[in-house]
Structure formats: structure tokens, C-alpha cells
Amino acid sequence: MKFFLDTANVQEVNDLLDTGWVDGITTNPTLIAASGRRISEVIQELCALVDGPVSAEVTAVDYETMVKEGRYLAQIAPNVVVKVPLTFEGLKACYALTQEDIMVNVTLCFSSGQALLAAKSGATFVSPFVGRLDDVGHDGMGLIQEICEIYTQHPDIDTLVLAASIRHPLHVIQAAQRGADIATIPPKVLHQLLKHPLTDKGVETFSKDWQKTGQSIL
């Protein structure tokens, strides 16, 4: 499974580039607003840092303006993926943009029916929001499994399932178990995925024992 970093903070991306964990990046209007910078500048910098897809989201809600914004965002760099909401207007925009060979990430997916429509509209990625579903008492990971099962049954569907709204490390593990192609993960959760107290304890023990030998490997 690929990992996309869910951030618009360039420094957070830089800090993780040498790990091999970052296959792409997703942003949204909230993350861009938090950066305090112009979207074109942020996306351009992020696209220069990673070879993989970088999602940049439109802010319009009508079809014509979505398409215009999508075209503008797509010309920033060849690895830009235009994000559109899973609405009627958004799916129309998705279809129009994909006809121009622009990659599209259809976001705010909350049902398998919506995911089917996104695939029919040519989406490169569909983003089911597992955390937000969990928040309202629904089974976010159940949706990931449903979509993956449906897509697998139909070889003509090449839309990738991108598990979004990841809240904690277990979400990442569960998304991988259910067959998601990608998880988009906040940097904080990615670091939490790494940490385990027994690992830290083991390193501490080995280090103390090695120091007692008085040896040096180099």
C-alpha cells in the first residue's frame, strides 16, 4: 500500500523525504489555509519535492468554475492531481478533466454507490473518509472493504481507493488489511505508526549492554 502525506506544510514533507515513506501528498483548502500561503506556491513546492501525485483541491462548487480551477491547478506541475468533491457538479468536472488527461481525486466519498459513480466518471482516485464516518457512528473501514470488493469484481475499473480522514495508526493497518491502494496520512499519525515502547526499550537495553563491552564497530 502506498502512503500519501496529508499536509500542506513543506517542512513536514522535507522532514520525511529520506525515509522512503512518502509516495505522494494530499492537500485540501483547510490545510492550505493553515499554511498562510498562496495555493499555487505551496503546490509548486510540494510537486518539486516528490515525484508522486500531489492533490490540489478546487474551491468552486459549480461545474464550469471547477473545470477552470482544475485546469489552472493542473498546469502548475505534471504530477498535480485535481481534487473535486463527490457532488453532481464535481463528477461532471471529473469527467471533463479526465478527458483532458488530467488526474482527478474525487474526495468526500461516504458510500460505495458514490464510489461507483466516481469510477464511472473516470476518477484516478476516490477518497472515502473513514474517520468522519466513524465520527457519526458508521463503519468507515467497512466502506473501504465494500469499495475494494466492488472494484475488484470489475476489471474495467482502474480507479484507486485512497483511504482518507485517517485518525490513528489502527486506521492505516485496517485500510491495508481491507485492500486500500493508498492511505493518506497526517505526519503525526505516520510517526505514531513507527513508535512502540518495546522497540524503545529494546534499543535502550542493547545500547547499555554494548557500552559495557568497550568496543567500537568502526
- From the candidates 2, 68, 83, 120, which is the catalytic residue? 83
Q: 83 an active-site residue?
A: yes
| Chain-centroid distance, C-alpha 51 | 14
* 192/148 Cα distance (integer angstroms): 26
Phi then psi dihedrals of residue 81, to 5 deg: -115, 125
CB 127 within 8 A of CB 112: no
For residue 114, the SS3 value is helix
Specify whether the CB–CB gap between 83 and 55 falls below 8 A: yes
Of 21, 37, 27, nearest to 105 by C-alpha is 27
Task: Please identify every residue annotated as catalytic.
Answer: 83
